[in-house]
């Protein structure tokens, strides 16, 4: 968790179009090929100077946690997938593709105490999950599922409705007051909802 909220976040999306040969056309017809994963850029500020601690703690205790997100897991054969959230809203899932640390303040002994970490995340979904994004019929039928360890209502809503913000219908249907108080093994009824057709949040 960063010490300060970012001043801005940048989400980018690219699609690939192929020009179709057409003699004499100024603007040839284009055919959709495929989409590219979204990228998510943000700058995170870490500061260990503006504290009461003496001596000052190295800011690398915080930036080092980001470094670990770029290391390939031996079991997964890729870096870990990051779930970025603000409160209950999970708005991006992907891999930390590029990371730059800019150290801007040092103590007399060279200890770095302030840094800006420039992060570029690339969207990552498994093939089944990407296909689920393209087929939204599953939310038109009520169903039941069993809570797994680590589940939250927002993560379940993201899987079932493709929108983590739609956790409240599940809470209301199951009489849950605390969206985080889920017990592994408990059954949940997943009600039908009307999904927005404007794409991913």
Question: Among 57, 49, 44, which residue's Cα sits nearest to residue 105?
Answer: 49
Q: Where do the domains of the chain lie?
A: 9-123, 127-190
pLDDT, position 197: 43
Of the ranges 57-71, 128-142, 154-168, 185-199, the best mean pLDDT one: 57-71
What's the per-residue H, E or C state across 136-174?
HHHHHCCEEEECCCCCCHHHHHHHHHCCHHHHHHHHHHC
Mean pLDDT of 75-81: 82
Query: Which residue, chain included where needed, has tokens 């260990």?
Result: 48
Q: What is the pLDDT of residue 137?
A: 45
Q: pLDDT at position 111, please?
A: 93
Whether the pLDDT of residue 66 is over 50: the answer is yes
The predicted pLDDT at position 105 comes to 95
Contact 148/139 with Cβ under 8 angstroms? no
Residue-wise pLDDT for 88-130, tens only, equals 667 788 999 999 999 999 999 999 999 999 999 998 876 555 5
**Mean pLDDT, residues 33-43 taken together:** 87
Mean pLDDT for 69-75 is: 86
Could you give the count of Cα atoms lying within 13 Å of 51 in the half-sphere of its Cβ? 14
Please check whether residue 75 is in contact with residue 61, taking contact to mean a CB–CB distance below 8 angstroms: no
pLDDT of residue 200: 40
| The pLDDT of residue 1 | 59
pLDDT-above-70 percentage for the chain: 83
**Residue range 127-190, CATH number:** 3.10.350.10
Condensed to tens digits (0 to 9), the pLDDT of residues 123-170 reads 887 655 555 555 544 455 567 888 888 888 988 888 888 888 889 889
């Amino acid at each position: 968790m960063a010490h300060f909220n970012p001043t801005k976040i940048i989400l980018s999306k690219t699609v690939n179009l192929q020009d179709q040969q057409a003699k004499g056309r100024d603007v040839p017809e284009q055919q959709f090929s495929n989409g590219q994963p979204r990228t998510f850029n943000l700058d995170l500020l870490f500061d260990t100077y503006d504290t009461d601690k003496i001596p000052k703690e190295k800011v690398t205790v915080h930036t080092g946690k980001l470094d670990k997100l770029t290391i390939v897991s031996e079991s997964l054969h890729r870096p870990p997938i990051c779930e970025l959230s603000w409160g209950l809203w999970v708005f991006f899932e992907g891999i930390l593709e590029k990371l730059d640390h800019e150290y801007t303040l040092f103590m007399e002994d060279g200890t770095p105490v302030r840094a800006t970490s420039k992060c570029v995340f690339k969207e990552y979904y498994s093939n089944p999950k990407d296909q689920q994004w393209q087929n939204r019929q599953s939310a038109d039928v009520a169903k039941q599922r069993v809570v797994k360890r680590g589940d939250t209502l927002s993560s379940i809503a993201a899987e079932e409705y493709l929108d983590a913000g739609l956790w409240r219908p599940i809470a209301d249907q199951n009489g849950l007051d605390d969206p985080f108080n889920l017990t592994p093994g408990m059954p949940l009824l997943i009600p039908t909802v009307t999904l927005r057709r404007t794409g991913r949040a």
